[in-house]
Amino acid sequence: MSTRANTCPETEQGLRDRIAELEAALARGQLASDRHESLAEALAMVEERQKLLLESSLDAIVFYDLSGAAMFFNAAFLDTFGLTREGVLGNSVDFIPPDREAEYDALRAGILDGKAVVNLETKRLAAFGLERDVALCAVPYRDRAGNIVGHVEFLRDLTETKFMEDSLDEVRDRYRILMEATPDPIAIYDLSGGISYVNPAFETAFGWRLDECVGSSVENVPVEELERTEQAAALVFEGQSQVFESKRQSRDGSVVEFLISMAPYRSSDGAVVGRVEISKDIAARKQIEREMLRAKESAEEALRAIFENAAEGIYQMSADGRYLKANPALAAYFGFYSGQALIDHFKHGGSGLYLDPARRDELLARLKARPRVRDFESQVRTRDGRLIWISENIRAAYGADGRLDYYEGWVLDITDRRRDEERLKRANAELHEAYRRLQAADEMKTAFLSNISHELLTPLTAVRGFARMLGNALAGPLGQAIVPEQKKAFKAVQQGLNNARIIMTEAERLTGLITNVIDITALESGTVEWRDEPVAVAELVAAALERVDALCREKGLELTLEAVDASLRIHGDKARLVKALANLLHNAVKFTERGTVGCRVRLAAERVLVDVSDTGAGISNAVRSILFEKFGQGGDSLTDKPKGVGLGLAIAHKIIERHGGSIHLASKPGKGSVFSIELPLAEGSSD
């Protein structure tokens, strides 16, 4: 049993004994009447003091009769267990936890047998079934005859005390776990330097067990570290924590580098009674630091080598523009024999270096605005008077405090590049002028071709007309008037008729050629007057087929057409779309010696495709890239002799492109070709 609770008060019993004596004296008649009054006053005073004592007590006090009903209790009883006076007075209070009922029954039996209970730690139920830890004192309650008529319980609430004890135990457990689990050696020393505690890590690191250390000092401080350690310990005893790097020696004599942390060890009243020393092994870190230092020195040496041997100029410059460092390459750029000579020459700033002094001011202004400047080109005058062009790349270097330390710059001599750029600029200007002249010449050529084509077309029209008239005359009455018996005359008429037909054929060919020249010229110059309207695809295909029908019959080719949906429409210039399709058909007929030339219309994703196919010689990959260019042609598959001048496909391509479409080619040599015109459907056209 714990003895944390105070002993139970016995004032009540003394008062009762005194009252009993007074009452007995009155009964025997041994007191005078005046003493009777004094006794009554004393009795009232005692009862008042008893009431005051009960109400002012911080401990819960309750009187039970033999049945277990609560006959009297103080306010602390109600407050401790969250009860009400009405719910307790005259009732049996059921606030014994089920697991404590046997204990309580034995306790109550002992009290009624005259035994007292002192400082029994147990539990009681408060309101809402909450358990509270209490220290119980209980004594029998007797009447004046000495008979036990009940008992009194004094209950002190230990709930918060128990909670604090449990918390303290938990803190101690955590402290123990922390001390035992930490990998860093920890030792607690008293003021004389003796050890009062070491953790397992201390034993592992230094080789001394706890039982060997406690009450004695351990010589784990090397001689060269004693003075520093004693100075730190003295400051710690004055209340100042210390952290420093030092060495410690293990039992086997090996020495390891540690980061030592010392702090005052205080008693409960705050007095310094020793020190706590935590040692963190930093041997690996120190080794890394040494390796990093060597790497840094090696890198600095490499940087010095780069600085001294670089082909580019390198420098460091102060915020006000003074050179702090300069490598030999920079000195050579500016005509100095060494970097130091350059620095000394421009010790008041580089204002005399730049041909345009404003460039230096502009450079410093840019550096103030942002930490890096790239490709800053300037013309400078060297020490020997030469003018060179340089390009600078500069960045700001800041210290650990965030302030500007200096600028680092890299310089390239770009004199040759600038000279080449000037030459290139002049050459570009000359090329631009030549291009302008070529454009003008091309425009003159276009105008000339347009004019000469129209001039040629006029007499050709007359030639065609007269040849037709002559042919009609020779084939008509004039030719019929000459009979076969007039051999010479008949032969002359037949020859004249053939010549008239040749003249008409060649005139038609020349007319087509000149018309193509006029069309391509107008398309390229943008002078075509387009007449856009809804166009039925069926009408477009029919008109184009009509233009090659006679030529197909003449060559003995079959001209085919698959059925076309009459509702399909596109939007564009009908005459020019007919010409584009007719050019593709004419090209197919021209390069097909036997077989078929066909036309088919199909739909694909809101677009109409018109396929022109043939069974000709096909087109090789070598000439596909030039087919739609002016004068581009594949030639005859047998003689390689071009047919025409190569304008028909170029005209078709430009017309289709103008209508938002395209022309595709699928062909294999020896297996014919398929040219596909793809055009967008007009809005509202049938699917």
- Domain CATH code at residue 600: 3.30.565.10
What percentage of the chain reaches a pLDDT higher than 70?
Answer: 78
Closest CA to 328 of 316, 317, 313: 313
- Residue 406 β-bridge partners: 397
> pLDDT higher for 453 or 79?
79
> pLDDT higher for 446 or 403?
403
Range of the domain at 376: 310-413
Does residue 112 belong to any structural domain of this protein?
Answer: yes
Counting beta carbons within 10 angstroms of the beta carbon of residue 679, is it exposed (0 to 12), middle (13 to 18) or buried (19 or more)?
buried
Closest CA to 605 of 523, 681, 497: 681
Q: Which amino acid is at 115?
A: K
371 and 462 in one domain?
Answer: no
Write the CB contacts of 603 (distance below 8 Å, at least 6 apart in sequence). 568, 609, 681, 687
**pLDDT at site 23:** 58
Does residue 517 belong to any structural domain of this protein?
Answer: no
548 and 498 in one domain?
Answer: no
* Lowest-confidence pick of 284-293, 347-356, 484-493, 540-549: 484-493
Q: What is the largest distance, in Å, between two alpha-carbon atoms of the chain?
A: 205
282 and 376 in one domain?
Answer: no
Tell me the average pLDDT across 252-266: 92
Does residue 438 belong to any structural domain of this protein?
Answer: yes
Tell me the average pLDDT across 444-451: 60
155 and 253 in one domain?
Answer: no
520-540 pLDDT, tens digit per residue, is 777 777 777 889 899 999 999
User: Is the pLDDT score of 320 beyond 50?
Assistant: yes
Q: Are 387 and 379 in contact (CB under 8 A)?
A: yes
**pLDDT at site 146:** 87
C-alpha–C-alpha distance, residues 612 and 593, integer Å: 16
**pLDDT at site 94:** 77
Number of H helices, E strands in the chain: 20, 22
Q: How far apart are the first and last CA of the chain?
A: 103
Return mean pLDDT, the chain: 82
Tell me the average pLDDT across 597-618: 90
Tell me the average pLDDT across 415-431: 90
Closest CA to 619 of 669, 683, 560, 681: 669
C-alpha–C-alpha distance, residues 580 and 626, integer Å: 17
- Reading the block at residue 247, the tokens are 């060495």
User: Is the pLDDT score of 28 beyond 60?
Assistant: no
Write the CB contacts of 127 (distance below 8 Å, at least 6 apart in sequence). 81, 82, 83
What pTM, to 2 d.p., does this model score?
A: 0.38
Q: Are 655 and 523 in contact (CB under 8 A)?
A: yes
Taking CA atoms, 506 is separated from 113, 546, 568, in Å, by 153, 20, 38
Does residue 432 belong to any structural domain of this protein?
Answer: yes
**pLDDT at site 11:** 46
Of 123, 138, 164, the residue at which a domain comes to its end is: 164
28 and 140 in one domain?
Answer: yes
User: Is the pLDDT score of 670 beyond 90?
Assistant: no
* Lowest-confidence pick of 9-18, 272-281, 328-337: 9-18
Indicate the pLDDT class of residue 16, thresholds 50, 70 and 90: low
C-alpha–C-alpha distance, residues 313 and 485, integer Å: 108
Of 351, 385, 413, the residue at which a domain comes to its end is: 413
Tell me the average pLDDT across 318-340: 90
Write the CB contacts of 661 (distance below 8 Å, at least 6 apart in sequence). 607, 677, 678, 679, 680
DSSP state at residue 100: G
C-alpha–C-alpha distance, residues 258 and 286, integer Å: 9
Closest CA to 661 of 683, 651, 676, 646: 676
160 and 43 in one domain?
Answer: yes
- Reading the block at residue 256, the tokens are 């390891």
Mutual angle of helices 487-525 and 415-475, in 10-degree steps: 150
- Reading the block at residue 588, the tokens are 């197919």
DSSP assignment of 408-451 equals EEEEEE-HHHHHHHHHHHHHHHHHHHHHHHHHHHHHHHHHHHHH
406 and 430 in one domain?
Answer: no
- Reading the block at residue 523, the tokens are 């398309």
C-alpha–C-alpha distance, residues 341 and 325, integer Å: 11
Does residue 471 belong to any structural domain of this protein?
Answer: yes
Q: Are 222 and 249 in contact (CB under 8 A)?
A: yes
C-alpha–C-alpha distance, residues 104 and 110, integer Å: 10
Does residue 4 belong to any structural domain of this protein?
Answer: no
Q: Are 677 and 661 in contact (CB under 8 A)?
A: yes
Domain total of the chain: 5
633 and 662 in one domain?
Answer: yes
For residues 51-68, b (16+ Cβ closer than 10 Å) or e, as one string?
eeebeebebbbbbbeeee
Pairing of strands 607-614, 60-65: unpaired
Kind and range of the H or E element at 136? Answer: strand 131-142
Tell me the average pLDDT across 283-303: 88
Q: In this structure, what CATH number is given to the domain that contains residue 224? A: 3.30.450.20
What phi and psi, each to the nearest 5 degrees, are found at residue 319? -60, -30
| Sheet architecture: strand order including 673-680 | 558-561, 596-603, 607-614, 673-680, 662-667
Indicate the pLDDT class of residue 608, thresholds 50, 70 and 90: very high
188 and 93 in one domain?
Answer: no
C-alpha–C-alpha distance, residues 340 and 327, integer Å: 9
Tell me the average pLDDT across 489-494: 62
Q: 């033999």: which residue's tokens?
A: 66
User: Is the pLDDT score of 616 beyond 50?
Assistant: yes
- Reading the block at residue 193, the tokens are 């330097």
**pLDDT at site 185:** 92
Q: 């020495």: which residue's tokens?
A: 255
Q: Are 118 and 7 in contact (CB under 8 A)?
A: yes
Does residue 205 belong to any structural domain of this protein?
Answer: yes
C-alpha–C-alpha distance, residues 460 and 40, integer Å: 164
559 and 633 in one domain?
Answer: yes
Does residue 652 belong to any structural domain of this protein?
Answer: yes
**pLDDT at site 46:** 67
Q: Are 558 and 597 in contact (CB under 8 A)?
A: yes
Q: Are 666 and 677 in contact (CB under 8 A)?
A: no
Kind and range of the H or E element at 678? Answer: strand 673-680
438 and 408 in one domain?
Answer: no
458 and 578 in one domain?
Answer: no
Q: Which amino acid is at 256?
A: V
